[in-house]
Amino acid sequence: MRRREFITLLGGMVATWPFAARAQQKAMPVIGVLVTGSPDPDSGPQLAFRQGLREAGYVVGQNVAIEYRWAEDHYDRLPALAADLVRRKVDLIMAGSPPAALAAKDATSTIPIVFRGGGDPVRGGLVESLARPGGNLTGVAFVVDELTTKRLELLCELVPQTQVIALLVNPNITTAERVIGYVQDAARARGLQLHVLRAGSESEIDAAFAALVQLHPDALVVAADPFLSSHREQIVALASRSAVPSIYAWREFAAAGGLISYGASLKTAFRLVGVYAGKILKGAKPSDLPVEQPTKFELVINLKTSKALGLTVPPSLLARADEVIE
């Protein structure tokens, strides 16, 4: 080979090497996040999810990317949004609620799905069992609906003269009737009169509280639900305006001015989901990762709100509180 031809060939190899090397490098993995609520990538749960990813060795923008899909409280949009993520060929789907997880499961049987769910994911059709999820799903699930009766007990302890209660529930969730049944049984056992209010949109929340004013209940139980949680500011403001003592599922309600909350930590749950997502991106199989169940439940009391309602919190209840907001 002539010297000039050799130099030309060598130069061509050097020029093409970086492109070949980059082609062989694995592309940055992409997580599709499917959320029932409105766009808010910096909400507490989403920040906690990214914290979990960091603990697993993944930093958004450095070695992992996220694509969000927001249903904006329209659950009927979830199937199309999940299908869009599947067409995008994301490496993993994080489903932030049971409805989102079901939509993702219906959309793909191959892309790993990590969910944050309430209730029983086995009865809900997400996994085969908690210890051995099977298929392409795993995640974090905790009791929410069954705790509704416990919330009623706590509320009656805080407002002992309660005779008439109201329950606010989102009728669009599959467990709505089950939740109503739990509270009906608990109310009947205590000799309480129960009014059920249903709201699946902003306007229906306003209408529910307008009806609440006419019913004059002694207390209100707000069911655990992603939609109601995403509208906590509206609900807490209306409960305050109506001067009705209310109990909620999540600490975030009490932090927003709600009277009392009892339930597992949303932030802890989403952090665990992030850790699981990181493990799967590193090669773990969802079917080998048991569904996590938080064992700690937070009781949070807002003393400022209790004073505004003219309520004296019993010392026994204060002693059991995990957090008291002054």
CA–CA separation, 233 and 124 (whole Å): 29
**CATH assignment of the domain containing 224:** 3.40.50.2300
Which DSSP helix (H) or strand (E) runs through 194?
Answer: strand 193-198
Residue 16's pLDDT is 42
For position 145, what pLDDT does the model report?
66
Tally the domains of the chain. 2
DSSP 75: G
Q: How confident is the model at residue 156 (pLDDT cuts 50, 70, 90)?
A: very high
Which pLDDT tens digit goes with each residue over 80-104?
999 999 999 999 999 988 889 999 9
Same domain, 282 and 257: no
Report pLDDT digits (tens) over 130-140.
Answer: 999 989 999 99
Domain shared by 104 and 136, yes or no = yes
Same domain, 124 and 159: no
Phi then psi for residue 139, to 5 deg, are 160, -150
**For tokens 């706590």, what's the residue?**
154
Residue 63 shares a structural domain with residue 84: yes
For the chain, the straight-line distance linking the first and the last C-alpha, in angstroms and rounded, comes to: 86
Work out the mean pLDDT of the chain and round it to a whole number. Answer: 89
Reported as a pLDDT band with limits 50, 70 and 90, residue 43 is confident
Task: Please report how many Cα atoms fall inside a 13 Å half-sphere around the Cα of residue 200, on the Cβ side.
Answer: 9
Q: Can you tell me which residue has the tokens 């009781």?
A: 299
Task: Please tell me the distance from the alpha carbon of residue 126 to that of residue 135, in angstroms, as a whole number.
Answer: 9
The DSSP symbol for 167 reads E
Q: How far apart are CA 123 and CA 141, in angstroms?
A: 12
Residue 213 and residue 67 share a domain: no
Query: Which residue is associated with the tokens 């309600």?
Result: 253
Q: CA geometry: angle at 118 spanning 162 and 181, to 5°? A: 45
The closest of 280, 297, 298, 278 to 289, measured between CA atoms, is 280
pLDDT score, position 225: 86
| Structural domain of 73 | 30-142+266-288
With residue 140 as reference, give the H or E element that holds it: strand 137-142
Is residue 179 domain-shared with residue 308, that is, in the same domain?
yes
Whether residue 317 sits in one domain with residue 197: yes
**Residue 138 φ/ψ, nearest 5 degrees:** -160, 180
Task: Collect all residues with Cβ–Cβ distance below 8 Å to 160 and sequence separation of at least 6.
Answer: none
Predicted confidence (pLDDT) at residue 21 exceeds the cutoff of 50:
no
Mean pLDDT of 23-48: 84
Nearest to 33 by CA among 81, 98, 87: 81
Amino acid of residue 318? L
Q: Do 227 and 195 touch, CB atoms closer than 8 A? A: no
Q: Is residue 11 part of a domain?
A: no
Angle at 28 between CA 60 and CA 67, to 5 degrees: 55
Q: Are residues 38 and 180 in the same domain?
A: no
Residues 182 and 100 in one domain: no
Collapsing DSSP to helix, strand or coil, 300 comes out as strand
| DSSP per-residue string spanning 301-321 | EEHHHHHHTT----HHHHHH-
Closest CA to 244 of 267, 269, 216, 203: 216
